[in-house]
Chain A
Amino acid sequence: MMYRVGVIGAGPGVSALHLPTLAGLADRFRVVHIADSGSGRAAALAASSGARASSDAAAVIADEDVDVVAICTPPDTHAELILAAVAAGKRAVFCEKPLATTGEQADAVIAACAESGVLLVVGTNHLFDPSWSRVTHHLGLSGAPTRSVAVTLALAANDRYHRWVSDRAPAAPPRRAPLDLSDPDAAAGVVRQLIVGLAVHDLPLVRDLAPGLARIEHARAVPPIGFDLGMRSGGIPVRFSAVMVPSGADTLWRVRVVTDHERVDVDFPPPFVHAGSARVRVTDAVGRSTVFPPELLDGYVAEWQALARLLDGEGAMEYSELHADARYVVAVADAAAAAVRGARP
């Protein structure tokens, strides 16, 4: 069955990621409406997609031709737009990460979706990466408890990857005042924003591996833009370190899991590109390494396929898991921000 998508947002995530991805899934999805917030970018994107354009999110939500609302706007608008889509009786919402920026927002949107039966997928693409499924399957079969988790991100500028997936010139990044990370409040704000908007990709994975309450052991901002966290999740130590290096080496995005007798290194592809699934290497105690063959399917495509299956009535909609993931991310972000400010989390 074909599902009609209305996209709210017309930034790089839409032009270089979701529209091309949906074009590749043309047997399941058709983009019928794209809205920007007045930038004028939606018209050009809509023209090449054969969709309508508007400059108002409400127009997409009110559009009766839209089955699925794709929310690709700044994070602090997500909850409100989800609630509006639910109120308008839409069948499904695809929400770019994060689902919510506060715990209360997460409670509200999950309750609304669950009560109305609105299907919901959050664009945390690592969670949908087929290699990650194989890692969790492998760890489940081995039965070896997790001893530690380390997440390392060294992020090159996104526009380096746009050129591999789009021939449109990337929009100029918004002008921001220089950050003064020596100011604890400013540093706390940056750390919180990065956790909610960036670490959100991997914190659900961490929660999978180390379920339970998260307790921050150390947190700090890292210049020019980054953070370093030491935390315990369900009692298991987790190092989570990220820094943006715009002019530097290609992106490194690695999750390492150490169990009783193995270490598992998962290298996710850089953002935006369709370079297959994550690369996985499992090394045992005596040095034997097993490399999982990567799949052609990547997390960006897989997340839309997951939504199509839900719309088809296949699989269960796990609202409680989405809720727990969102709550977990916000709890880590709040505790880390408090630690950076100097208060005991």
Chain B
Amino acid sequence: MRHVAVWTELSAYRGAVGELSASTRRAEGQAGAICVVPGAGRWWDAATRAVDAGACAVVIADPDVGPAPAVSRLDAVTHAGVPVIVERPRLRADVIADAQLAAPPLMILADVVASAKSARASSRDAIGWLRALTGGPPTVLSVARGRHSLIAALETTAGVPAALSITTSRVDTCPAIDVIAIGDSRLELRIDDATGTRSIRQVRAEGALEPAARLESSARLALRRALAAVAGEPVADLDELCSDSSVDALLWPDHA
């Protein structure tokens, strides 16, 4: 079997290469490799450099929120035909798959608690959850901002009311996202970085169902998805990141 080269300096991804040793190997350089770009700092520049260096795919690991013009420059990466996987530990593809709604909700609510430093990325991921659960990016109807929190009224593509609250804590709190989609079946989703929780409860009249925990590391999942993309599987991660970021930017105009 062909071993796809993976270029990374992140220990989580080195471990993931070890866990995918039948299909991957460590690369010495970026050319021809899946290149893993750390999401801190100017990751958009690093991603572009990786494409320029001949990467066969790029993985962006847990990206910070970037300035809108810089993020839009990633179009160049997309247009280069190089698949881009975005590892979003609070918005994992496998957890999304477990959290699908049987029917559109009557209302969907998201509450985020995070430190000031992580609030932007967390709110962007909460927007991502609203999108992933309802099939399209929500529209922001109104935003009320305070010193430590904001409340937004939104609407899904199907016209379902959605609301989002974001509260920043005084201390360095790990991000926590709670999403509740209310319908005949109620979805209760809890993402908590402090405890590593990614829990889903599908509550129906007859009781609650909780899917088994996804125990694969976020890095390994991203790398597997990159392998699938290299093999031709379509991937929309970058479009979704840009979409979530552009909705999120409406919540934080002073920081855009």
Task: Mark A residues whose CB is within 8 Å of B.
Answer: 144, 147-148, 150, 152, 154, 156, 217-218, 220, 222-224, 226, 228, 230, 232, 235-239, 241, 243, 245, 247-250, 252, 256, 258, 260-261, 263, 283, 285-287, 289
Q: Bound state CA distance, A156 and B149, in angstroms?
A: 30
A-B contact count (CB 8 A): 130
Cβ of B172: which chain A residues have Cβ within 8 Å of it?
A: 285
Determine if B109 is an interface residue (Cβ-Cβ < 8 Å): yes
Given contacts A248-B204, A248-B205, 9 further A-B pairs with CB under 8 A are A147-B170, A152-B109, A217-B151, A237-B150, A241-B109, A243-B182, A245-B106, A252-B182, A287-B195
Inter-subunit contact A217/B113 (CB<8 Å): no
Inter-subunit contact B144/A222 (CB<8 Å): no
With A247-B184, A248-B183 as contacts: A286 and B205 at CB distance below 8 Å: no
Task: Mark B residues whose CB is within 8 Å of A.
Answer: 106-107, 109, 111, 113, 141-142, 144, 146, 148-153, 161, 163, 165, 167-174, 176, 178, 180, 182-186, 188, 192, 194-195, 203-205, 208
Inter-subunit contact A237/B144 (CB<8 Å): yes
Contact of A239 among B163, B182, B194, B204 (CB under 8 A): B163
Q: Bound state CA distance, A261 and B113, in angstroms?
A: 10
Q: Bound state CA distance, A287 and B113, in angstroms?
A: 12
Inter-subunit contact A228/B107 (CB<8 Å): yes
Contact of A256 among B111, B144, B174, B208 (CB under 8 A): B111
Inter-subunit contact B195/A249 (CB<8 Å): no
Q: Bound state CA distance, A237 and B153, in angstroms?
A: 13
| Min C-beta distance of A195 to chain B, whole Å | 16
Inter-subunit contact A249/B113 (CB<8 Å): no
Q: Bound state CA distance, A217 and B165, in angstroms?
A: 13
| Min C-beta distance of B170 to chain A, whole Å | 4
Inter-subunit contact B174/A285 (CB<8 Å): yes
Inter-subunit contact B169/A228 (CB<8 Å): no
Inter-subunit contact B185/A248 (CB<8 Å): yes
Inter-subunit contact B174/A152 (CB<8 Å): no
Interface of B is mostly: strand
Contact of B182 among A218, A245, A260, A287 (CB under 8 A): A245
Cβ of A241: which chain B residues have Cβ within 8 Å of it?
A: 107, 109, 163
Q: Bound state CA distance, A230 and B152, in angstroms?
A: 8
Inter-subunit contact B171/A261 (CB<8 Å): yes
Cβ of A261: which chain B residues have Cβ within 8 Å of it?
A: 169-171, 173
Inter-subunit contact B169/A223 (CB<8 Å): no
Contact of A230 among B113, B151, B192 (CB under 8 A): B151
Listed A/B pairs (22) with beta-carbon separation below 8 Å: A144-B170, A147-B169, A148-B148, A148-B149, A154-B180, A218-B141, A226-B106, A230-B142, A230-B153, A239-B151, A243-B107, A248-B183, A249-B204, A249-B208, A252-B180, A252-B203, A256-B178, A283-B194, A285-B194, A286-B194, A287-B194, A289-B195
With A217-B151, A287-B195 as contacts: A245 and B184 at CB distance below 8 Å: yes
Contact of B167 among A148, A217, A235 (CB under 8 A): A148
Cβ of A256: which chain B residues have Cβ within 8 Å of it?
A: 111, 178
